[in-house]
Structure 1
Amino acid sequence: MILRYARCLRGYTQAESAATYGIEERTLRRWENREFDPKWNDVISLVEDVYLLNILEVIGKINDDNEHND
């Protein structure tokens, strides 16, 4: 959820994100679809280094959105 949310905030496609991070697009797709769990370091690196977002702020925004949708 964090990866997809952050990617959409920045307007990246899965292909762009994967290429920038140096992984295959299908790997990112599997992470986003929760078919495989990425290492926490990969989540942090994608959010902070590729999407240039603060991981804690992204988590906070997800929590805020979930509270408003309940």
Structure 2
Amino acid sequence: MVAYYTIAGKQVGSHILSIATLSTVFGLSYLSMGGSKKPQATPPIQATSKDEETFIQNFLKEAEAEGKAKH
């Protein structure tokens, strides 16, 4: 048995109202969870010299390449 409600002069069934409500809730939650992802920030390198900093950066690049190759 369906209960009918008068909305804007039209008879609307309760099942239509529930479908509209659920669609709105799930649609808005989907849209609010989307968007651009923030890039993952790396901690600053605290090196004593420029050579040490470049060595650390090269080491991290090689480690990332190896990690991607394993997966």
TM-score of Structure 1 vs Structure 2, range by shorter chain = under 0.3
- Of structures 1 and 2, the larger Rg is shown by 2
Name the structure, 1 or 2, with higher relative contact order (CA <8 Å, separation 6+). Answer: 1
Higher share of residues assigned helix: 1
Give the alignment's TM-score, normalised by structure 1: 0.26
